[in-house]
Chains A and B, each alone.
Chain A
Amino acid sequence: AQSVTQPDIHITVSEGASLELRCNYSYGATPYLFWYVQSPGQGLQLLLKYFSGDTLVQGIKGFEAEFKRSQSSFNLRKPSVHWSDAAEYFCAVGATGGGNKLTFGTGTQLKVEL
């Protein structure tokens, strides 16, 4: 069964600083990987996804993520954080069968200091 680990529960960065959120996955085959963002009181919104091809994927709101098979990682990055980026971020891995289920990590809460 697939699993996802987000080792950082909380991260605080200053506005304008760079950001990297870590995600490690466990899956036997080539994974389908996703990053979602959740603002307070809202549902989840897709930031970006990887399923094949270029290992560096671009998403919305200036985010990018890099798939590294050798490290089983899919870290999310942003060069310059804005105060509006404060939210909770979830990494997820998709199975290649069985109803298209996604398995989510436990999330990383991002706080942005002005």
Chain B
Amino acid sequence: NAGVTQTPKFQVLKTGQSMTLQCAQDMNHNSMYWYRQDPGMGLRLIYYSASEGTTDKGEVPNGYNVSRLNKREFSLRLESAAPSQTSVYFCASRAAGTNTGELFFGEGSRLTVL
């Protein structure tokens, strides 16, 4: 029962480097999300994909891009990493058309930008 799988779990980058965080879910969920978690800030939505083929900006999209590769996979890309992007990133998924439904989270990816 994998649920939501994120890779990598840890990454250290230098300012200006690029990287992609990968996320895959095996629950046949339509909606997928990327959040970042910072101390004292809670979780803030970066981007989301309500269904395959669509993506939309969340609260803090600047500096990020996303790709909904297929129904299972939703990747987050940092084109030119900045120290302000040091954070823990969580991917989550949710069944379609269920505002009341549970968000299932991955275990997080801890990113440090030097």
Residues of A within 8 A of B (CB): 6, 9, 32, 34, 36, 41-46, 49, 51, 90, 94-107
In the complex, which residues of chain A have a beta carbon less than 8 angstroms from the beta carbon of B43? 44, 90, 104
Cβ-defined contact, A42 with B107, below 8 A: yes
Count residues on chain B whose CB falls below 8 Å from chain A CBs.
Answer: 29
A46 to B4, CA, bound (A): 14
Residue of B nearest to A51 (CB): B100
Dominant secondary structure of chain A at its interface with chain B: loop
A34 to B105, CA, bound (A): 14
In the complex, which residues of chain B have a beta carbon less than 8 angstroms from the beta carbon of A94? 99-100
Chain B residues numbered 48-64 whose CB sits less than 8 Å from any CB in chain A: 48-50, 56, 58
Cβ-defined contact, A99 with B56, below 8 A: yes
In the complex, which residues of chain A have a beta carbon less than 8 angstroms from the beta carbon of B92? 44
In the complex, which residues of chain B have a beta carbon less than 8 angstroms from the beta carbon of A41? 107-108
Given A9-B40, A43-B90, A43-B107, CB of A101 within 8 Å of CB of B102: no
In the complex, which residues of chain B have a beta carbon less than 8 angstroms from the beta carbon of A107? 42
Determine how close the nearest CB of chain A comes to the CB of B28; give it in whole angstroms. 16
Given A99-B31, A99-B56, A100-B31, CB of A44 within 8 Å of CB of B103: yes
Cβ-defined contact, A46 with B102, below 8 A: yes
Cβ-defined contact, B103 with A96, below 8 A: no
Residue of A nearest to B105 (CB): A43
A99 to B94, CA, bound (A): 10
- Indicate whether B27 reaches chain A with its CB closer than 8 angstroms: no
Candidates A32, A42, A43, A105; contact of B100 at CB < 8 Å: A32
Determine how close the nearest CB of chain B comes to the CB of A59; give it in whole angstroms. 11
Determine how close the nearest CB of chain A comes to the CB of B15; give it in whole angstroms. 26
Given A44-B105, A106-B40, A107-B42, CB of A32 within 8 Å of CB of B90: no
Candidates A100, A101, A106; contact of B42 at CB < 8 Å: A106
